[in-house]
Amino acid sequence: MLITIIALGLCLPRTGNRPQLVALLVITALLTGALLMIRDVERPFTGLVRVQPTAIAETEAQATRAFQATYGTDGLPCDAQGRKRT
């Protein structure tokens, strides 16, 4: 992004460039904002839009309850090699 902004800045005329400078600043602000939003969305448990992992924890609890209802709390339904126990 930095290279793009620098290249656009170097292409501006030396005099009478106020509209072009404003456009460059707007483009810079939009690109920076987009990158910050992408960064925030990629890290859902931190940042400005923080989401608690309650849905993941509830799914894990449901899977644990289903496993324990089927197989009990004694052990896994397979041996160390992954073969089903009889």
Token reading at 9: 């800045």
What angle, rounded to 10 degrees, do the helices at 18-42 and 2-10 form? Answer: 180
Check: pTM over 0.95? Answer yes or no. Answer: no
> pLDDT tens string for the chain (86 positions)?
788 888 888 888 888 888 888 888 999 999 999 999 898 888 878 877 777 888 888 998 999 899 888 877 777 777 778 888 77
Element (H, E) at 27: helix 18-42
